[in-house]
Amino acid sequence: MDITEIRMFLCNEPRLKATLSVTFDDVFVVKGVKVIQGKHGLFVAMPSRKAESSFEDVCHPVNRRFRELLEDTVMREYSKLSGVPFDEVERMMRDSRAAGRSKSPDEHGDAESPEDCSSGGDLGDANEPKASSNRPPRPDTYRPGSARPGRRPERAEDGDDSAPSMM
């Protein structure tokens, strides 16, 4: 599985550094991924929901190799957009890993809800900012080795007979 696009929005928050969506193989997108500054360094947090007393991931990599690929790709993009040298970002990631970080944002000193960010947490249509949003109108995107320019095809509107039926 290849990461074919990253749409990242930098956040002006003490702990939440960026929210992003990651597209895999140009066919599957995961929204709500975050770059967080924890007590021991930077880490990539997958989309999560509030459980009884903590947060639990909605989706996540199932093996170390893919997790490291995802984290490295996200952090390289974060470094490029934020202007923080990648060597420093990489050191902060190592510090976080060495501290034995868990999946829970609360255990990293991030008591904010997953939706807290200037982009509103939900990236929605990344090309059309929400009226109350402070994010830029069009985010920078990362498309490694992609020869396909342009946007995804538009979704069919309700009542459009040309849309394929799901029933």
Residue 3 scores a pLDDT above 70: yes
**pLDDT of 125 higher than 70:** no
Q: How many C-alpha atoms does 72 have within 13 Å on its Cβ side?
A: 6
Cβ-based burial of 30 (10 A; exposed 0-12, middle 13-18, buried ≥19):
middle
Distance of CA 111 to the CA centre of its chain: 18
The C-alpha atoms of residue 105 and residue 10 are separated, in whole angstroms, by 18
Contact 73, 153 (CB under 8 A): no
Task: Between 94 and 120, name the one with better pLDDT.
Answer: 94
Residue 164 has pLDDT above 60, yes or no: no
Looking at per-residue pLDDT, the higher value among 77 and 143 belongs to 77
Dist. CA 125–CA 26, nearest whole Å? 16
CA atoms of 166 and 7, how far apart (whole Å): 29
pLDDT greater at residue 46 or residue 133:
46
- Would you state the pLDDT for residue 166? 52
Between residues 113 and 36, which one has the greater pLDDT? 36
107 DSSP assignment = G
- Supply the CATH classification number for the domain 3-142: 3.30.1120.40
CA triplet 111, 134, 73: central angle to 5 degrees?
65
Q: What is the tens place of the pLDDT at every residue in 65-108?
A: 999 999 999 999 999 999 999 999 999 988 888 886 444 444 44
Question: Out of 111-120, 121-130, 148-157, which region has the weakest mean confidence (pLDDT)?
Answer: 121-130
Phi, psi of 6 (to 5 degrees): -130, 125
Confidence (pLDDT) at 43: 93
Domain spans, the chain: 3-142
pLDDT, position 114: 40
Residue 113 has pLDDT above 90, yes or no: no
Q: Of the candidates 110, 106, 121, which has an alpha carbon nearest to the alpha carbon of residue 19?
A: 121
- pTM listed for this prediction: 0.61
Top pLDDT among 34 and 118 is at 34
* DSSP symbol at 58: S
